[in-house]
Amino acid sequence: MSKYVALPAGVSEKVFDTALAEYRAILGPDHVITAAERLVPYNKIMLPVDDERHAPSAAICPGSVEEVQRCVAVCNKHKVPVWPISTGKNFGYGSAAPATRGQVVMDLRRMNRILDVDADLCTALVEPGVTYQQMYDHLQDNKIPLWLSCPAPSAIVGPLGNTVDRGVGYTPYGEHFMFQCGMEVVLPDASLLRTGMGSLPNSNTWQVFKWGYGPYLDGIFTQSNYGIVTKMGLWLMPAPPDFRPFVIRYDDEADIVTAVETLRPLRMANIIPNAVVIVHALWEAGSAYARSDHFTGPGAFTDDAVRTMVKKTGMGVWNLYAGLYGSPEQNDVAWKIVQGAVKASGKGRILTAAEVGEDPVFKYRADLMQGRMNTKEFGLYNWRGGGGSCWFAPVSQARGSETLKQMEMAKRILNRHGIDYVAEFIVGWRDMHHVIDLLFDRTDFNQTRAAHACYRELLQEFAAQGYGVYRANTAFMDEVADCYGDAKRKINATLKRALDPNGIIAPGKSGIWATV
Ligand code: ADP
């Protein structure tokens, strides 16, 4: 039996001993972790598969770019696969655990410097371990009037990890990768690349112009395994003089058609500039109530129970959150337009901070829309209890009929497996991310098995209708890659072989392997 929790695939214990000794020589013994109890945080996956499948063999924690490069050289020499994480949360997508058993986690949390914030140009340059909380505090402490855009559990995650996995937020800068500008990447051969204008020695335009010269490369370092990102530039939003959050509550499930058709033109014309979110009652309830307060029957939460719950609580079956950002005069005009459109649609109750500002769920959404810290979304994990969460997040057109069709498909499949439809739509520029949290009790074998079968069925039925997910968890990466077809898999693998012939960086990420 091996003295290690796991071994990297194809690496003998003897070779692994040597690699670990070399990491220790570079990082110092404290920053090379192999003890089972210290590896536990790197193997808490929440997914409906065995932890064993994703158990790392070790974790290494470099403190500088040079240390990352030297560790990557060791990985290459001994063909040890390495899985980089930044803040390592990624709950419901795989947390910090690698795609396959035995990879060494490279934990970049020690590299947590905010290298630059330019208050005039509204740009920042950060290292992987920087959290949104840290950035928020930095802006507050230095009285810099800039806003962040964060994903929902913002305080403990960071901009680099979220952006390279193409996560989204809720402000006008909510499509995070769109507002990213410039990267520094350690390539698999341990060399260093700065993308965009950063390739020029002494450039001062790295964080202000995205494209540089020649092929635009930043995209290939997102949701991929072609390099380890060690610095990232991003744009921050100037704090508007006036911010007016509001919610529109809709009473019927089919009202989502009206909601989207009414609000899309306003979003496209930038009258509503932020990533509007349309939240289903069961997601709202997850942040405010216990499931047993409103449903105790077997199987999935029924439509009847949803209707009773919304009547009792006053929430909508759909709850659309959006905000106005600008000067008070601009917002007065925009507010008239929004109110007029909602009134003309004949549906929806529109409420402002003056009316529901004390409601904790409204407060939480208003915080998200102005990039303020919170961790309230974690309340969802108590909904079913037992720690299981697995996101299924297909992209849909921002078209009412499409969202209704996706909702009906998803609900039918979920309910067949006894899983609640806990979902929201996040409106992008032309698309919507239909984000569904498959919540289940991981300590219950049947629920876990059901969640696994359910995700598979969702993936296949949605793909059959031409829908794909925007992001995938580590348990299903190959299956998701299959949905996107052979040509895409082939070019991904060709790039992988060219850049990383030994396949040492995050093998299996997004279904990309050096060997096919
Ligand atoms: P968060 O804590 O914000 O959810 P993570 O640090 O867990 O983000 O990163 C999400 C995913 O992005 C990781 O699982 C990994 O696949 C990828 N990733 C994170 N950091 C890097 C990096 N520095 N370079 C390349 N890929 C990364």
Q: HEC states along 402-447?
A: HHHHHHHHHHHHHHHCCCCCCEEEEECCCEEEEEEEEEEECCCHHH
Count CB atoms within 10 A of the CB of residue 467. 20
Q: So what CATH class is 114-238?
A: alpha beta
Pocket test residue of 165, 476, 504 for ligand 1, highest count of atoms within 8 A of CB: 165
Which are the contacts of 333, defined by CB distance < 8 A and separation ≥ 6?
none
**Beta bridge partners of residue 349, listed in sequence order:** 249
Q: What is the pLDDT of residues 118-127, one digit of tens each?
A: 999 999 999 9
pLDDT value at position 156?
A: 87
Q: 């070790």: which residue's tokens?
A: 58
- What distance in Å separates the CA atoms of residue 454 and residue 439, rounded to the nearest whole number? 11
Helices 400-416 & 256-268 angle (0-180, nearest 10): 130
CATH fold for domain 13-107:
3.30.43
pLDDT at 287: 80
Contact 72, 27 (CB under 8 A): no
- Residue 319 in contact with ligand 1 by CB distance below 6 A: no
Fold of 242-474: Vanillyl-alcohol Oxidase; Chain A, domain 3 (3.40.462)
Beta carbon of 133 within 6 Å of any ligand 1 atom? no
Confidence of residue 373 (pLDDT cuts 50, 70, 90): confident
297 to each of 144, 344, 466, how far by Cα in Å?
51, 39, 34
Which has the minimum average pLDDT: 264-268, 283-287, 462-466? Answer: 283-287
pLDDT at 376 over 80: no
**pLDDT tens, residue by residue, 129-146:** 999 999 999 999 999 999
ipTM for the predicted complex: 0.98
Separation of 54 CA from ligand 1 center, angstroms? 16
Residue 88 CA to residue 130 CA, distance in Å, equals 11
Q: For residue 322, what are the β-bridge partners?
A: 246
With beta carbons less than 8 A apart as the criterion, state whether 260 and 320 touch.
no
Average pLDDT rounded to a whole number, residues 40-57: 93
Ligand 1 atom index nearest CA of 221: 25
Angle (nearest 5°) at CA 377 between 372 and 378: 120
Rounded-to-integer distance, Cα 369 and Cα 173, Å = 10
Q: How many CB atoms lie within 10 A of CB 288?
A: 15
Whether residue 481 is predicted with pLDDT greater than 70 in this model: the reply is: yes
To test ligand 1's pocket by mutation, which of 133, 164, 226, 377 has the most ligand atoms within 8 angstroms of CB?
A: 164
- For residue 434, pLDDT beyond 80: yes
**pLDDT over 80 at 153, yes or no:** no
Is residue 165 lining ligand 1, measured as CB closer than 6 Å? yes
User: Is the CB–ligand 1 distance for residue 87 below 6 Å?
Assistant: yes
Triad 437, 306, 346: Cα angle to 5°: 100
Query: What is the average pLDDT across 30-39?
Result: 97
Mean pLDDT of 219-228: 98
Q: Which of 331, 335, 460, 447 is nearest to 388 (CA)?
A: 447
* Å from CA of 108 to ligand 1 middle: 9
Closest CA to 179 of 125, 114, 233: 233
263 Cβ partners below 8 Å, 6+ apart? 248, 272, 276, 320, 322, 341, 427
In 10 A of CB 299, how many CB atoms? 12
Sequence-distant (≥ 6) Cβ neighbours of residue 484 within 8 angstroms: 468
CA 179 / ligand 1 centre spacing (Å)? 17
| Domain ranges (residues) in the chain | 13-107, 114-238, 242-474, 485-516
The superfamily in CATH containing domain 485-516 is Vanillyl-alcohol Oxidase; Chain A, domain 4 (1.10.45.10)
* 377 has a pLDDT exceeding 70: no
Half-sphere exposure of 184 (CA within 13 A, CB side): 19
Give the count of beta carbons closer than 10 Å to the beta carbon of residue 490: 11
Residues carrying an active site annotation:
93, 470-471
Distance 160 CA to ligand 1 centre (A): 7
Q: Cα–Cα distances in Å, from 196 out to 161, 164, 173, 188, 226?
A: 19, 16, 20, 19, 17
Is residue 371 in contact with ligand 1, taking CB distance under 6 Å? no
Instruction: Find the radius of gyration of the CA atoms of the chain.
Output: 23
Q: For the chain, give the mean pLDDT.
A: 95
Instruction: Please report how the helices 445-464 and 400-416 are oriented relative to each other, as an axis angle in degrees rounded to 10.
Output: 150
Residue-wise over 139-160: b if at least 16 C-beta within 10 A, else e?
beeeeeebbbbbbbbbeebbbb
pLDDT at 516 over 80: no
* pLDDT value at 16 more than 90: yes
Query: Is residue 161 in contact with ligand 1, taking CB distance under 6 Å?
Result: yes
Q: What is the pLDDT of residue 447?
A: 95
Q: How far apart are CA 72 and CA 307, in angstroms?
A: 55
The proportion of the chain whose per-residue pLDDT surpasses 70, expressed as a percent, equals 99
Distance CA 278, CA 284 (A): 10
Give the pLDDT band (50/70/90) at residue 1.
confident
The alpha carbon of 411 is separated from its chain's Cα centroid by a whole number of angstroms, namely 22
- ∠ CA 350-352-357, nearest 5°, is 135
Q: At what angle do helices 256-268 and 328-345 cross, to 10 degrees?
A: 150
Residue 128 in contact with ligand 1 by CB distance below 6 A: yes
Residues in CB range of 87: below 8 A, 6 or more apart: 109, 128, 129, 131, 156, 157, 158, 160, 161
Ligand 1 center from residue 308 Cα (angstroms)? 41
Q: Which two tokens stand for residue 370?
A: 């102005």
Match 């109110």 to its residue by tokens.
339
The H or E element that residue 117 is part of is strand 114-118
